[in-house]
Structure 1
Amino acid sequence: MARLFHPFACPCCAPGAPNRREVIKAALGGLAALAVTPAAVQAQMGGTRVVRIKRVQTGESFEGVYWRDGRYDRDALRRLDVVLRDPSMDETTPMDPRLFDVLNVVATRLDSDESFEVISGYRAPETNAARARQSRRVSRVSLHMSGMAADVRLPGRQAIAIARLAADMQIGGVGLYRRDGFVHLDCGPARRW
């Protein structure tokens, strides 16, 4: 049956207007667009991004802006590389700045001004291999060796709450180490363990 079109009729009834399935499909597509990860949304926005970290082994810390005016602050990234270095080898690597985006988003969503306590940041291949020999829980191809991961705690927050939030946001890898009281966060593909 052909639809009759009246100039004052509902636009949904106009010739060529989408049918109900098309409207529902478009609405679901719109909802999917809203589900873009917070890190991706932040990457499109201006402003500043802050990260607060304290390295457990060395006591060194960084608290400040690492992103401003639409780009990463190179000086801040160099300082973060030093704080997140492998302390057993005193070796640094350029950390992936997307890791700091993950930490920033998690802290923001938790409404936390506390510093992340970093148990492990960058790991030299030798350090990672030694840890993998000690524990089956350490990956032999860990993203720690690529500067893309950190094992963290957040004072006043339970590790399980941090892990759930990060996993729900699907902004990278999330590993819960409940017995040790920390969470692995990385900027790799979304997955959890």
Structure 2
Amino acid sequence: MQGCPCCDGFGRRNLLRGALGLGLACTGIAPAPAQVLGGGPRSLAIQRIQTGESFEGAYWRDGRYDREALQQLDWVFRDPSLEEVTPMDPRLFDLLAAVARQMDATEGYQVVSGYRAPETNAARARESRRVSRASLHMSGMAADVRLVGRESMGMARLAAEMQMGGVGLYRRDGFVHLDCGPSRRW
């Protein structure tokens, strides 16, 4: 497979792998967000590195997503180079919250990259072979993050074990790619 496996076109093998992962999740083998997060409020603490903007609070209450909180998160996760906002997939926030909870994190996430407009993603792909031209960042389904006070290797290992999406460890850059696509790792 060429490029970064985090977001490349999924192809038949990855589609089957994702379907198998979904089937396993339905059987209880892989934890669903509700299993990890419980029925109470779901919260996040996020700071965007490039802008210094942050969000801290609940984005899920009383059995549903809080629309205002999701809009605030969408703004923090926007493409800051173009000031372009897209609705982020709430499953990404569930994944982030689940990882933080499993790691007993008391500090929040630093967001290196959230949503990427197609133009921004294309420019990054021209600069680095590690950036996929079909990135899930462009769909609002991926984020590159650091969890303050936690090692990236431990976070990536835990997230991969949870099988709730894609996990990429970028040890040299000190961040982990998390997405709510099919379960896979690199």
Q: TM-score range by the shorter chain?
A: 0.7 to 0.9
SS at match of 1:113: coil
Equivalent residues of 1:38, 1:105 under 8 A apart: no
Higher relative contact order (CA 8 A, sep 6+): 2
CA distance in 2, matches of 1:46, 1:158: 28
Q: Please tell me the residue identity of whatever aligns with 1:99.
A: L
Unpaired runs of at least 5, structure 2: 1-25
Q: Please tell me the residue identity of whatever aligns with 2:137.
A: H
Q: Which residue of 2 aligns with 1:136?
A: 129
Q: Which residue of 2 aligns with 1:107?
A: 100
Match of 2:148 among 150, 155, 159: 155
RMSD: 1.4
Shift of 1:34: 4.4
Shift of 1:178: 0.5
CA distance in 2, matches of 1:42, 1:160: 20
Match of 2:66 among 73, 78, 84: 73
CA distance in 1, matches of 2:176, 2:30: 23
For each residue in 1:65-98, what CA deviation from the matched residue of structure 2 results, as whole angstroms up to 9, or x when unmatched?
A: 0001110000000000000000000000000000
CA distance in 1, matches of 2:117, 2:27: 38
Equivalent residues of 2:31, 2:163 under 8 A apart: yes
Shift of 1:33: 4.2
Shift of 1:37: 1.5
For each residue in 1:120-176, what CA deviation from the matched residue of structure 2 results, as whole angstroms up to 9, or x when unmatched?
A: 000000000000000000010000000000000011211111000000111100000
Structure 1 segment 14-163 matched on structure 2, within 5 A: 33-41=27-35, 45-163=38-156
CA distance in 2, matches of 1:60, 1:140: 27
1:169 aligns with 2:162: yes
For each residue in 1:9-65, what CA deviation from the matched residue of structure 2 results, as whole angstroms up to 9, or x when unmatched?
A: xxxxxxxxxxxxxxxxxxxxxxx944232415358x532100111000000000000
SS at match of 1:179: helix
CA distance in 1, matches of 2:69, 2:158: 26
Change (3 A) 1:40 1:140: farther
Equivalent residues of 2:30, 2:163 under 8 A apart: no
> Which segments of structure 1 move beyond 2 Å, counting only runs of 4 or more?
32-36, 40-43
Unpaired runs of at least 5, structure 1: 1-31
The number of residues matched between the two structures is 161
